[in-house]
Amino acid sequence: MTTTPVTTTSPRRQLLPPAGADRRRRQLPFVEALTPYAYIAPFFVLFAIFGLLPFLFTFYVALFDWNPIGDQTFIGLDNFTRMLADPRFWNATGNTLSVWLLSTLPQLALALLLAHVLNHARLRFANFFRMAMLVPYITSVAATAIVFAQLFDRNYGLLNWLLGLAGIGPIDFVQSTWGSHLLIAIMVAWRWFGYSTLLYLASLQAVPRDIYEAASIDGAGGWKQFVHITIPSLRPIIIFTVVTSTIGGLQIFTEPLLISPGSLTCGPVRQCQTLSLFLYEQGFGQYEFGYGSAIGVALFVMVIVAALINYLLSSRIRADR
Amino acid sequence: MKLRTSPPFVLLAAVVLVVVTACSPGSASGGGGGDPKAFEFWSMSGIDQQRSVDQYVEKHPDIKVGLTEVGSSQETAQALTTALAGGKVPDLVLIQGDELPKFLEQPQNFHDLREFGADEIKGDYLDWVMAQATAEGGEIIGIPTDVGGLAVAYRTDLFAAAGLPTDRDEVSALWPTWDDFIATGQRYVAATGKPFVDNVPTSVFYQAVNQVSQKYYDDAGNPIYADNPEVKEAFDIALRAIDAGISAKFSYASEGWNAALPRGDYAVVSAPSWMLNSFTRIAPDTAGKWDIATIPGGAGNWGGSYLAIPARAANPEAAWNYIKEMQAPERQLSHFLDVGTLPTTPAVYDDPRLVEATEPFFSDAPIGKIYTQAVLGLQPFHMGPDTGTIGSEFLNALVDVEQAGGDPATAWDRAVGNIRTAIGQ
Amino acid sequence: MTMESTTSGTATSGTATGASVGEAVTGAPPGRGRHRGLLGRVRWWNYLLLAGATFLCVFPLYWMFIVASTDTATATRMPPEIVPGGNFFQLAGLVFDTVPFLQSILNSLFVATSIGVGHAVLCALAGFAFAKLRFRGNNVLFLIVVLTMTVPTQLAVIPQYMIISWLGWVDTLQALVVPGLASAFGIFWMRQHISTTITDELIQAARIDGASTWQIFWRIAFPIVRPAAFVLGLFGFVSAWNDFLWPFIVLKSPERFTAQIAIKALQNERTIDLGLAMSGSFLATLPLLVLFVFVGRRMVAGILDGAFKG
C-alpha cells in the first residue's frame, strides 16, 4: 500500500485530456518538427553522396580528358563530338537495342501467356508453378552467363549438339553477331520472364472473375478470353514492364562480359558490346574517365527518353478510359 | 525528459558497428600495411606465380606474401589502373610486356627502381628488354621476369597419323617460311580431315608480326602501323592461312581451346616459353605426345613480363627484396628449369643446365636451346604507348575473318580504321 | 479440388448473381463443360505449357550441377551425360583451394544481410514518415524519391568509383553496403503499404495516449507492416547477393571477394578444369536456393500482393 501515490499518478496521467498531452509533447516542438526529416534522412544522405553527387560529377568529368593515373585537361564538349562520330558508340547502341528487342518481346509474350494460364481458377499445383517461375530470378547473372555460355558452346555445347542432330551446322553463339545477341537476349529473358509472369498475374487477379464468367457464358473459350480480356486489362502493367526492361536493357553488362572471358569488347568486332560494357571499357579498360563519363551522360539521355515515352503512352491510356 | 534507447537504434548502431569492424582490418592500408615483413603481390593467372612465391617464403619464413592472381594480362593491367587511380595498390605487380608502355607514359605512378639500385643490376638483363621498361626520363619502372621466345609445339602422334615426319629437326625443316607452314597445314588437313593449327590470329599473326625490324612505331616513336609493309605482310600471311582452311578456330586460352587441347582437336600451337606450363596443366594425359620445332620465319619474341612497384606501395622495400632475389640470373634459371619460362638474363644462356635442359612432356625437346636461339638473333623494335591496343585491333580483325565470317578483302582497312578510332591517331 | 479453386469459387459466388454459377465452379464435375476458358476445366496443354516453363527455369541449374560433377573429358563428350557424375566433391574441393570461397560466401552473406536489413528498416521508416507525418516539403521530397527510381545509378560508375576511392573504401565491404542501404523503390512501396494498412485513427489514438512519434512507428506501425518489410528485405538480399558490376569494380583482394566475383576469378582459372567455374557457380547459387525453399512462397506472395508493380 506504500506504492499508492505512484499508482495514482499514472492513471491520472493517462486520463489527461488530449490537449494537455499535446501541450506536454510540445515542450520539444523543435525536435518533434524535425522528426520526419530524421526518418527520411538516411535515404537522402546516402542518395546525396552515392547517387546525386556522382551523377552531377559525371557531367563535370565528361568535359575533361581525364586520365585517372595521369593528367586532367579541360576539353569542353570534345568528348561528346568524338562520341557522336565514334562508330563504336553507335555499334554499342545498336547492339543494346537489338538485345533489348530480342529479349523483351518474347519474354513479355511468354509471360502474358503464362500469367493467363496461371490465373486459371482450377489450376492444380499453382503454388509450385509460381515458385518455379521465380527460380531464374534468384540465380545470379554471373552463374547464368557461365552455364548458358557452356550450353551454347560452339563445339562442346548441348544445344549445338541437338542442332547437329537436326542437321543444322554448329552456330557460334559468341563470335557471330546474331548468335551472340540471341545468346545474351536468351539469358536476359530467362532471368526475367518468370518475374514478369508474376507481375502480370498480380494485375490479372485484380480483374473481376465475373468478366471472365460473362465471356464464358457467351461461349468465349480460353484463347478469346486471353485476347479480349486478359491483354486489355493488363495494358498499364505491360507498359510498365516494357519501360523497366528498357532501363534494365541499357544496363546489360555482366552477360556480354562473361560470355567472352577477358575481353571487354565482347568479341573481335564488338559484335555484342553493349553500351554499359562500352562505358566500362573506355573508363576502366582504356583509362579514359572523361570519355566514359560522356557515354554515361548519353545513357542518361536515353533513360530520360524512355521514361518520357512511357509517360506519354500511359497518360494517353488514362485519357482513353 | 528521458532519453530512450529504442531497439531500432540499437539495431542500426549494431549494423553500423558490424560494418565498420568487419571491414576495417587492413581496409585502410595498402598492401602489407605496417608490417615490414609482408607485401601484396598481383599477378596474372595461369602462369603459376605461386610456385615462385612459395620458394621465396620457404627461404624467408618470416616474410608474408599476399599473392592475388587477378586474371588475364589485360585484366591485371586494368585492375592496376583502377588501383592507381584511387584506393589500395599492391606492393608488387606483374605487368605483361604489351601493357607496359601505357604505364611507362606515367612513370610517376611507380617507384623508379634506381632508388633501390636497379642501375647496378640492369646489366644482367637483355638490353632491349630493359630498354622497354625504361621511361623517357630514364626511370626504370620494371625488372623483366621472362621473355617469350617463339617456337611451335606439335603433336607427334597426330603428325605420324597424317604421314608427316615427327622428328623435330625434320619438322622444323618443313616450314622455313610461313607459306611452307601453311602448305604443311594443308597436307595435314588433306590427310586427316581435321584442322591443323589452334587458331591463326595468335599462332600465325602474333608470331609473324613479332619477327619484324619495326612494328607499330618507328624508332623515333611515331606510329607507323598503317604503312609498315612488314606489319601488312604479317597480316596477309594470316589471311592466307585462314583462307587455306587449316585452323580449328579456337581463340587462345578460351574455354574451347582448353577443352580441345587434350582431345587433339588441333595438332599445332605456336608456343612461347611461358605457354609451355599450361600444356602440362591442361592436358597431363598427353605427356610425351608433344614436341617442339622452330618457328617459321626466324627469330622473334611474344610476351614476357615485368615486375613493378607502385609509388604508393606500403612496403616497397620488401617488394624490391623479392625482385632482387627472385629475378637474379641464377633464380631465373631455376624458374626456367621448373616451369619453362625463358630467362631474360643472357649470362645463363650458356649455362649447361639451360643448354642441356629437356622437357619430358615435349618428348625431351631441348627447350633451352630452342628458345634462346629464338631471342638471341632478335632485332628489338620500339614499343609505343598504344602497342597493346594496336595489336589487339589487328588480332580482332583476323578473328572476325576466321571465326565470324568477316570479309578478308576489307579486313586490313577495317583494322586500321578501328585503330584510328581507338587511339585517335 | 485444390485450395485455389475452392477459394476462388467462393469469391465468385459472392459476386455472382445465381447460386448455380458458384456451383458450377466449385461443385460440378469438370466434365460437364458449362464453363469454358479460365473458369472451366484446365486443358492438358495448359499443364504442358507450365511444365515446359518449369523445365526451362530449372534445367540450367540442373545442368550446372551435371558439369560441376563431371570431369572435362566427360563434360565435352557428345552425346552428353544427363545424370550427375561422381566428381562433385572433388571439384568443390578444388573451388575452395583455388579461391578463398568460404570467405567469399561469408562476405556475400554479410553484404546481402546488411542491405536486406537496411532496406527493411530504413525504407519502412521513411515510408512511414511520408505516409503518416506532415512536414514541410513532404510532397517535393517524395517526388524526388520517385524520380530517383527511374535513373539507373550505374551510368555514374566512374565518379562513384572516384568517390569511393576518396573515402578510402576501395577494396572494402562497406563500399558495397553503405551506398545500397536504402532504396527509393522500397520507400515508395512502404509508403503505399503503410498508408493503406494503418489508419490515421490508430495513430491519433496512440498520440492521445502520449506515445512519441518514434514509439508510434516502432511499437505500432512497424509490427503491422513487418511482413511486408521482410519481403522487401528479401528482395534487397537477393539483389545484393547477385550484384556483379559494382563489386567487380570495387573489390581487389580475393579475401574480400563476394561470391559472384569469386566465380569470375574461377572462370579465369580455366586451365585447371572446365567444371571449376561451373562448380563455383553452383555453390554460390546453393545458399539462395536453400533460402528460397523457405521463403520463396512469401516472395511470390509479395509480388502477387502488388509489391513490385511499381
ipTM: 0.85
C118 in contact with chain B, both atoms CB, cutoff 8 A: yes
Residue B275 has pLDDT above 60, yes or no: yes
Question: What gap in Å lies between CA A255 and CA A144, rounded to an integer?
Answer: 8
Residue B365 has pLDDT above 90, yes or no: yes
Mean pLDDT to the nearest integer, B17-38 = 50
Q: What is the pLDDT of residue C176?
A: 96
Would B120 be classed as within a structural domain? yes
CA angle C302, C303, C306 (to 5 degrees): 95
Q: What is the pLDDT of residue C259?
A: 95
Q: Dihedral sign, CA of B366, B367, B372, B378?
A: positive
Contact C67 A219 (CB under 8 A): no
Q: What is the pLDDT of residue C261?
A: 92
Confidence grade of residue B61 (pLDDT, cut at 50, 70, 90):
very high
Percent with pLDDT over 70 in chain A: 89
Mean pLDDT to the nearest integer, A145-164 = 90
DSSP one-letter string for B90-155: -SEEEEETTTHHHHHT-GGGB--GGGGTHHHHGGGS-HHHHHTTB-TTS-B--EEEEE----EEEE
Count Cβ atoms within 10 A of the Cβ of residue C305 and give its class: 0-12 exposed, 13-18 middle, 19 or more buried: middle
> Which tops the pLDDT comparison, C305 or B270?
B270
Residue A47 has pLDDT above 70, yes or no: yes
pLDDT in tens, A203-214: 888 888 888 888
Q: Which of B311, B327, B348 is the endpoint of a domain? A: B348
C178 in contact with chain B, both atoms CB, cutoff 8 A: yes
Helices (H), ranges, A157-288? 158-165, 177-204, 209-217, 222-225, 231-233, 235-249, 254-259, 275-280
Contact C171 B68 (CB under 8 A): no
Confidence grade of residue C5 (pLDDT, cut at 50, 70, 90):
very low
Would B356 be classed as within a structural domain? no
Count Cβ atoms within 10 A of the Cβ of residue A238 and give its class: 0-12 exposed, 13-18 middle, 19 or more buried: middle
Contact B19 C171 (CB under 8 A): no
Asked if residue B280 and residue B212 are part of one domain, the reply reads yes
Contacts of C164 in chain B (CB under 8 A): 86-87
Percent with pLDDT over 70 in chain C: 84
Mean pLDDT to the nearest integer, C70-88 = 78
Classify residue B412 by its DSSP letter. Answer: H
Would B379 be classed as within a structural domain? yes
Instruction: Check if the beta carbon of residue A175 is closer than 8 Å to that of residue B404.
Output: yes
- Nearest by CB: A156 against B106, B259, B414: B259
Percent with pLDDT over 90 in chain A: 51
Q: What is the pLDDT of residue A232?
A: 87
Q: What is the pLDDT of residue C110?
A: 96
C-alpha cell at B322: 623479392
C-alpha cell at B78: 586494368
Contact A261 B406 (CB under 8 A): no
Q: How many domains does chain B have?
A: 2
Asked if residue B241 and residue B182 are part of one domain, the reply reads yes
Q: Which of A135-139, B369-373, C85-89, C144-148 has the lowest mean pLDDT?
A: C85-89
Would B34 be classed as within a structural domain? yes
Residue A5 has pLDDT above 80, yes or no: no
Task: Find the CATH number of the domain harbouring B130.
Answer: 3.40.190.10
- Best of B254, B410, B419 to substitute, by most chain A Cβ atoms within 10 angstroms, is B254
C182 in contact with chain A, both atoms CB, cutoff 8 A: yes
Mean pLDDT to the nearest integer, C90-102 = 86
Asked if residue B383 and residue B406 are part of one domain, the reply reads yes
Q: What is the pLDDT of residue C270?
A: 63
pLDDT in tens, B276-302: 988 988 888 999 999 999 999 988 888
pLDDT in tens, C241-283: 999 999 999 998 888 999 999 998 888 766 666 688 889 999 9
- Nearest by CB: B403 against A88, A175, A262: A175
| Superfamily name with CATH number, domain C101-309 | MetI-like (1.10.3720.10)
Would B354 be classed as within a structural domain? no
Mean pLDDT to the nearest integer, C137-150 = 89
Asked if residue B316 and residue B261 are part of one domain, the reply reads no
> Which tops the pLDDT comparison, C95 or C285?
C285
Q: How many CB pairs under 8 A join A and B?
A: 81
Residue C14 has pLDDT above 60, yes or no: no
Q: What is the pLDDT of residue B109?
A: 93
Contact A265 B396 (CB under 8 A): yes
Q: Which of B16-20, B142-146, B207-211 has the lowest mean pLDDT?
A: B16-20
Domain around B31: 19-147+303-348
Instruction: Check if the beta carbon of residue B289 is closer than 8 Å to that of residue B157.
Output: yes
Closest-approach residue (CA) in chain B for A261: B254
Mean pLDDT to the nearest integer, B370-376 = 87
C252 in contact with chain B, both atoms CB, cutoff 8 A: yes
Contact B15 C114 (CB under 8 A): yes
Chain C, 31-70: which have a CB under 8 Å from a chain A CB? 35-43, 46-47, 49-50, 53-54, 56-58, 60-61, 63-64, 67
Would B328 be classed as within a structural domain? yes
State the CB neighbour count (10 A cutoff) for residue A312: 10
Asked if residue B174 and residue B93 are part of one domain, the reply reads no
Contacts of B7 in chain C (CB under 8 A): 218
Would B75 be classed as within a structural domain? yes
Q: What is the pLDDT of residue B210?
A: 92
Residue B329 has pLDDT above 90, yes or no: yes
Mean pLDDT to the nearest integer, A256-274 = 86
Would B70 be classed as within a structural domain? yes
Contact B404 A269 (CB under 8 A): yes
Residue C31 has pLDDT above 90, yes or no: no
Asked if residue B247 and residue B158 are part of one domain, the reply reads yes
Q: Name the interface residues of A facing B (CB cutoff 8 Å).
A: 27-28, 67-70, 86-88, 149-150, 153-156, 172, 175-177, 261-262, 264-265, 267-269, 271, 284-287, 289
Give residue B163's region: left, alpha or beta (phi > 0; psi -120 to 50). left
Q: What is the pLDDT of residue B259?
A: 86
Closest-approach residue (CA) in chain C for A195: C303
Contact B12 C121 (CB under 8 A): yes
pLDDT in tens, C106-118: 999 999 999 999 9
Contact C218 B6 (CB under 8 A): yes
- Nearest by CB: B8 against C218, C249, C264: C218
Asked if residue B341 and residue B262 are part of one domain, the reply reads no
Chains within contact range of chain C (3+ C-beta pairs < 8 Å): A, B
Confidence grade of residue B69 (pLDDT, cut at 50, 70, 90):
confident
Asked if residue B225 and residue B103 are part of one domain, the reply reads no
Question: What gap in Å lies between CA B85 and CA A68, rounded to an integer?
Answer: 5
B277 in contact with chain A, both atoms CB, cutoff 8 A: no
Angle between helices B387-403 and B229-243 (to 10 degrees): 20
Closest-approach residue (CA) in chain B for C74: B259
